[in-house]
A and B are shown apart, each in its own frame.
Chain A
């Protein structure tokens, strides 16, 4: 699949080069152009036969909310729609495309749902309203509880069709927060659209530092449930767990190697924290970074060859990059104060971290060679910390804190747009974005 995306992207460029640049933003939404033109799109009421009639509006609502989040589309309001889509439109009858064009839509989405026993059969189609051609069509079968996930998948198809980059709908964010009045912290998971919030652990100790495995099936995290900070792997679906690092004092997982074979972690022994990697299966241990300082927070690069990590060897915590197995480390944070919690972007071209600026913690990104530092998220009245990239690299989730209040926020990686993902949970923090689905 990866290869075909690459081929498609390459051919895109070829096709695009046939035209002068003004044509560029109209079809192909350039996700890197700030303030680029948005694609006007209509999502028609879905045909339901037979089934729950509320799906007729419910499915377009989920899809529209997704598309709005991308900032790539303008939704033509349903009140402006003139044509009623029927089952016949899925068996050969053409849509009245001039009518859709008239209300400003350049693309139209239609859908057809039918309940079959305990399952839903859902067909979704995306049309180019100008040419009247089908751009992408998919048929899904699933249970009603999978409805949101199915609609998210089609939203990802739409984004891919117009940008060449997979959307991130249906991905999730793991984080930690206090549960009710408990002083402990539990792990939570929430959808990237803010829906489906749920508690993962419930042991009333401190549960910290959730990190996703590359297949999205496991979370590594630190728990004090036996009284000491141990690292566990937890299957997100089944709740099955196993202890994974069996040495040292304080332990905090940083991230998995891209092949899922290694878990990188900061582990303290005799008060000195170094970076280790542990085989997820078997438990073999290798020391990756050693030093007299505190070395913590390893974040592997997407190709698995390097790690970013934090060390205070220079007198204050700063971010360094090291090629695994090769001597030498490069400092990439250039602040004088305090730089922590690096997170490598999925494309490998940026590293986000928590920096210190003007007496506040801010989220910055930097190239892996230490050049081109940019501040992405900051607040005049609080701290912005602990960034984690979305799987498409277009967004970051981070923690906003202000005197005891905290929230998770999502910001576009150029810093232009942001929204609150989670608020109202005590001390929410340490967010980690799941891999693509």
Chain B
């Protein structure tokens, strides 16, 4: 039984080898830098050009020094607006915060405010990036409805990249689902 297996195997191997070499014959006409040792050539007619360079440059310094410490939490004189899981509605306490922000901006018409949208760590990063954008925009829209000129406002989403609380429970997640106000 075993012998039969091997025999069949061998026959198939031969057909494979023949097919592979036939299949590759066209491509292998490219010149090789291998040494033309006669005996080896008859046995190993399959040549290959050298592989493409694989050396990769080490990490390069940033093209332009950013000078923007985007990874650091920035102080805000305003409270954060918090959100429910996977939601972007501005809730009652968030509206109160927005009223405080709107009153400030009306009294300080030259002030510029950036609204950061943030998410908790659950779910994939791309989805959370878009969700953070939607949260920041929801807050901006609400501020505009309170009479703040849109020109004073801008938004940026950090998705789940910049948690306020590094914990991994609902207490931390609730703090991390937020809009954060930065006076520029």
Residues of A participating in the B interface, judged by any CB pair closer than 8 Å: 1, 4-5, 7-8, 11-12, 15-16, 19, 22-23, 26-28, 90-92, 106, 121, 123, 125, 128, 130-131, 133-143, 145-146, 149-150, 153, 160-162, 170, 182-186, 189, 198-206, 208-209, 222, 224-229, 236-239, 241, 249-250, 252, 254, 266, 268, 270-273, 294, 296-297, 310, 312, 316-317, 338, 340-341, 354, 361, 385-386, 403-404, 429-430
Contacts and interface: CB of A to CB of B under 8 A. Distances in A.
B156 A249 contact: yes
A8 B23 contact: yes
Interface in B25-71: 26-27, 32-35, 37, 39-40, 43-48, 50-51, 53-64, 66, 68-71
B8 interface: yes
Contacts of B79: none
B113 interface: no
Q: Chain B interface: which size bin?
A: 35 or more
Contact of B161 (A28, A203, A208, A238): A208
Contact of B124 (A199, A271, A273, A297): A297
B50 A140 contact: yes
B100 interface: no
Interface string B122-165: 11111101111111111011000000000000011111011000
Most buried by B among A7, A239, A249, A266: A249
A161 B44 contact: no
B48 A140 contact: yes
A139 B47 contact: yes
B34 A139 contact: yes
Given A161-B20, A341-B124, A90 B40 contact: yes
A229 B10 contact: no
A145 to B, nearest CB: 6
Contacts of A204: 66, 69, 71
B111 interface: no
B133 A28 contact: no
A296 B126 CA distance: 7
A204 B65 CA distance: 10
A295 to B, nearest CB: 8
Nearest to A217: B52
24 contacts: A8-B16, A15-B16, A26-B9, A26-B12, A92-B39, A92-B43, A121-B33, A128-B14, A130-B9, A133-B13, A135-B16, A137-B43, A145-B55, A146-B54, A153-B51, A161-B16, A161-B20, A201-B62, A208-B129, A249-B155, A252-B125, A268-B137, A271-B155, A273-B133
The 8 tightest CB contacts between A and B, nearest first, are A271-B137, A137-B44, A139-B34, A4-B23, A203-B62, A273-B130, A23-B8, A27-B12
A224 to B, nearest CB: 5
Given A140-B50, A226-B66, A249 B126 contact: no
Nearest to B17: A135
Nearest to A101: B6
A143 to B, nearest CB: 8
A8 B133 contact: no
Contacts of B39: 90-92
Contact of B62 (A202, A249, A252, A340): A202
Contacts of B8: 19, 23, 26-27
A27 B137 contact: no
Most buried by A among B48, B58, B133: B133
B16 A12 contact: yes
A228 B59 contact: no
Given A91-B40, A121-B35, A131 B46 contact: no
Given A22-B5, A23-B12, A90-B40, A206 B158 contact: yes
Nearest to B131: A294
B43 to A, nearest CB: 6
Contacts of A341: 124, 126-127
Contacts of A145: 54-55
Contact of A160 (B12, B13, B20, B129): B20
A296 B130 contact: yes
Nearest to A294: B130
B61 to A, nearest CB: 6
Given A202-B60, A250-B157, A11 B134 contact: no
Nearest to A404: B168
B153 to A, nearest CB: 12
Most buried by B among A131, A145, A310: A131
Contact of B123 (A90, A161, A317): A317
Nearest to B47: A139
B15 interface: yes
Nearest to A238: B57
Interface in B87-122: 88, 122
Contacts of A11: 15, 19
Contacts of B158: 206, 224
A128 B10 contact: yes
